[in-house]
A and B are shown apart, each in its own frame.
Chain A
Amino acid sequence: MTEQRDDPAALLAAARELAEIAHVLRTASAHATAALTDPALTASLRRTPGPGLRAHRALLGALTDRAGLGWALTGGALGAVGAKLGGLVNAGSLPIAVMTTSLRLRIAAVTLRNPELAADPLLSALQDAVAADSALGSARALRELVRDRGMARTLSAMAPIFGEILALRALLDQNPLNDHTAWLIASGMGTATADPLTGLSNRAIARLDSGRGAAVRTEPEPGEEAGLSTRASLLGFLGDLLVIRPTGRAVLETVLGPDGVERHVLLAPGMRMGDPQTDSPGDLLGAFSSTVLDGGPYSRSLAKAVADYGLPEGAELALVGHSAGGAAVMSLAQDAAFAARHRLTHVIAIGSPVDFKKPASPETWVASVTNQHDIIPSLDGQGAGNCFDLHPGWYVVDYTDPTHVFPACHSLEQYTANLTHDLPEARAHIEERLASYAGPVVRRQVYALRDHAAAPAGFPFLTVPTYAHATPGGNVDLPAGTPDATTFTAWFAADPAAAEDLLAAEGRGEAVRAGHRVLAVLRAVDHRGGTLGDHQEVTLALLVHDPWRNRPVGVWRDLLRPPGLRRTGLLPLDVVVSTVCAGDAHRHLWEEPTFTAEASLGLGGASVRLSVEGVLGLTGALGPGVPGRAAGTVLYSGSGGTTLRSCLHADGRVTAHPAPRARLAAGPGDHPMARHLRDLGLHGARPLLCWTGAGQRLRRDAAVPLPHS
């Protein structure tokens, strides 16, 4: 293994010179095209036809002379059309021919460093086909290479000349959309702006990775704490990155330097494997945007982590990243506002595509460590064959490793092993530059990174003003919210005489009639989290008109109104809840006849299993379902002649089951709910209609006392 950045320098110097010449030729072609298409020249044909025609001919001749510039129309609308036409007739241009020679020379230079590239007959065949502008030959050679080696070994084999092969292919094919990217790669003028094969804009794809970035404090996973280093060093930082792994997290550490000064280090791991687009900024899309854009959610989430960590004014900060993490920390370093807030002393990028990133502060020392067979650092278009001195002040370690196989050679394990065993001088140099950071780690915080900050639970449905209300068990905030609830509602046809008796006993309300029957509702809710905590709630209620007026015709239309505007409501006969806290709230805040008992609700496979110990059981199939939106409920409750009205708002999807086959069994005991179920004739009854909902959000308002009817 050798560090051979300047070898073979003569070929690379010649390649650079050729690229510069090609650029001069292209600029001259663009100027000539601009002159040819200038309306002033067209106007001259009318004013002085003879000289005007000669000037036209001379310009057109210069731009189409096969012995000179070749088919060199470029720039502007005519240039684009001309380039397309030239591509169709396979007309070559001198600037592209010279740039092609530059790229071929770069490949030759890399081949001198890596003789196995020349010894490989399949790779040589691919190079020849590409250089000969044979699309069919290129595709066939690439197919042969993949068939013989597999994709991983093909990528590894091509990695040192990946950028050059892509640029050659793009310059010589007949697709004008990728020419600009090919030129950027070949001339070393910037990062690839489009896919060199298809011309599809890389920036457009990268912009799909949206998000302002967020960082949430988290604890190391079990077993990780013991693996984290206690003393800071280059290998210690890499070791910590190996412990954290590419899991969408980053680490901030404070070290006590040898001079007694606390300094800080941000560690950013590489791309998170799996789904290409997740809520983590370190996913594939994040890696892509970190490479081709100046900043993205990954770097922004790192900035949020640094802000949360709280660095003292003027404190020194070093950034260390692997793969996409290296690109992200370089994006952070080139953010002028971030660099103004913090004293960025070091950026160390391991296996990262960072050639076209530049720290905002000239004081920032940059080290880039890349394996020539690792294809990831060349994703910005510059790899082992780079012939341009893009960043003279950087410490660049571009080495070869006999392992060669991608993705193994891209792994942080491999880079760490190389720096530990095979690159002692490079490691020693970086450690020396990091000397002020050598010392014990005195503070450490792990952050989970996100594309977007998480909205508050239940936002916006549960984000409403709340007020504390006293209960014997303590204050309860109303409206009471539940961010996650499973609900089950069953409608029954009940005995009207029994309902009238029950309502008379309550002293209020008149039941809504459906034919010769009244409607009873059995409603079960499994509350998870929220104001009253985890609990189950089962309510037996009757559908009643408002306290002032019976509207037998308008009642059905009224039921479609939002709860706030609805008159018709449910009058709870009995409420069973599973916790004392919930019982206190129902009893004292909404004045409902409430009992505490164990209850359970199970929904699944279009069936229900509801039970209240010793009170009721409802089991069976629910039949086919129809999707819909949850609707809230109005509840009339109260005691001692006072009627209270409260609204229960619901948000989420429900499924209506119009032909349920489940059957209700009322308990034989003396529990009021069991007795009422029997009195209403519901023992053994099947519901008329059921609806179910999972993942619902519920919000119940405070009760409002109504004037006497």
Chain B
Amino acid sequence: MPTDPLTAHAATLSADAAAVSGCARRLRALASAADAAFPAWFAEAVSAHLTACTIAAEDLSRAAEELAALEA
């Protein structure tokens, strides 16, 4: 466990980026599993969330790298 606060933030955000990437995968699985019982708007909404998750994961990853570079 890092004791320096910025290193700790970098590690947390890196893990969050991975978790958000995982969210994108879960959303993709949800979109593919949706059948006729699901409302019509569902596919479009999940697709938008999926795209946003992918970008959010990249943003978080970039922030983690910048924080890590700060302490390097």
Contact = CB atoms under 8 A, between A and B. Distances in A.
Given A21-B23, A97-B49, A97-B52, A32 B70 contact: no
A31 interface: yes
Given A55-B66, A59-B63, A108-B39, A28 B56 contact: yes
A631 to B, nearest CB: 71
A441 B37 CA distance: 51
Given A8-B37, A14-B30, A68 B56 contact: yes
A48 B67 CA distance: 12
A68 B58 contact: yes
A62 B66 CA distance: 12
Nearest to B39: A108
Interface in A522-560: none
Given A51-B70, A94-B53, A18 B30 contact: yes
A512 interface: no
B55 A65 contact: yes
A48 B71 CA distance: 10
A24 B37 contact: no
Contacts of A41: 6, 9, 67, 70
A44 interface: yes
Interface residues of B, number: 42
Contacts of B19: 24, 27-28
B13 A31 contact: yes
Nearest to B67: A55
A67 interface: yes
A40 B5 contact: yes
Contacts of A112: 37
Contacts of B35: 10
A101 B22 CA distance: 18
B16 to A, nearest CB: 4
A132 to B, nearest CB: 11
Interface in A445-479: none
A94 B49 contact: yes
B9 A25 contact: no
Contact of B6 (A27, A38, A62, A94): A38
B30 A32 contact: no
Interface in A10-57: 10-11, 14, 17-18, 21, 24-25, 27-28, 31-32, 34-35, 38, 40-41, 44, 48, 51-52, 54-55, 57
B66 to A, nearest CB: 4
Nearest to A35: B9
Given A69-B56, A101-B49, A21 B26 contact: yes
A35 B6 CA distance: 7
Nearest to A23: B23
A18 B37 CA distance: 17
Contacts, number: 134
Contacts of A40: 4-6
Nearest to A27: B16
A41 B6 CA distance: 7
A58 B37 contact: no
A668 interface: no
Contacts of A276: none
Contacts of B49: 21, 94, 97-98, 101
Interface in B1-30: 4-6, 9, 12-13, 16-17, 19-20, 22-23, 26-27, 30
A65 B9 contact: no
Nearest to B48: A97
Nearest to A52: B70
A674 interface: no
Nearest to A69: B56
A581 to B, nearest CB: 83
A377 to B, nearest CB: 26
Interface string A655-678: 000000000000000000000000
A55 B56 contact: no
Contact of A55 (B33, B59, B63): B63
Contact of B46 (A32, A59, A101): A101
Contacts of B42: 14, 101, 105, 108
B51 to A, nearest CB: 7
A282 interface: no
Nearest to A64: B59
Given A31-B13, A38-B5, 9 more contacts: A25-B23, A25-B53, A25-B56, A31-B9, A44-B70, A58-B62, A59-B63, A65-B59, A98-B49
21 contacts: A10-B38, A25-B20, A28-B19, A32-B60, A35-B13, A35-B63, A38-B5, A52-B70, A55-B67, A57-B66, A58-B62, A58-B66, A62-B62, A65-B55, A68-B58, A68-B59, A69-B59, A70-B52, A94-B56, A97-B48, A108-B39
Interface of A: 8, 10-11, 14, 17-18, 21, 24-25, 27-28, 31-32, 34-35, 38, 40-41, 44, 48, 51-52, 54-55, 57-59, 61-62, 65, 67-70, 94, 97-98, 101, 104-105, 108, 112
Q: Which 6 A-B pairs have the closest CB atoms?
A: A62-B59, A28-B16, A68-B56, A35-B9, A68-B55, A58-B63
